[in-house]
Amino acid sequence: MAGKVANVPHKVTPPAAANAALALDPVIHERARLAILTALGSQGELTFTELRDLIGATDGNLATHAAKLEAAGFISSGKGVLGRRVKTTYGITVLGQKRLLEYLEALEKLMGEVRGG
């Protein structure tokens, strides 16, 4: 038996409100990519290892999602030598910061609509 359905009054919502979820950027909306952007947005530049450990990703998973974000212009990467090792670092771009904030605003709007506000 399915769970109890919430007693929500039925009302017709305007098309814009009904489609608020469609305003969420599909590049950012994937969980790992959102984690990468929020980590870089709050922590600043991070090495591959720091970012991988912070978001709990595998090497391959991080590399794949970082490449998609970089292709979209949301993050940038650089390589440098530290000691005898080559280190890859990532940072959020101005465009990435802008799109992340727009994404978060869209989420807030969607949450308000779901809560009836």
Distance CA 75, CA 36 (A): 9
Q: What is the pLDDT along the chain (117 residues), one digit of tens a residue?
A: 455 545 545 454 455 445 678 878 999 999 999 999 999 999 999 999 999 999 999 999 999 999 999 999 999 999 998 888 999 999 999 999 999 999 999 999 888 888 886
10 Å CB burial of residue 4 (0-12, 13-18, 19+) is: exposed
* Identity at 107, one-letter amino acid code: L
Backbone angles phi and psi of 30, in degrees to 5: -65, 135
Res 1: pLDDT: 46
Contact between 27 and 36 under an 8 Å Cβ cutoff? The reply is: no
Fold exhibited by the domain 16-109: Arc Repressor Mutant, subunit A (1.10.10)
pTM for the model stands at 0.80
* Residue located via tokens 């469609």: 22
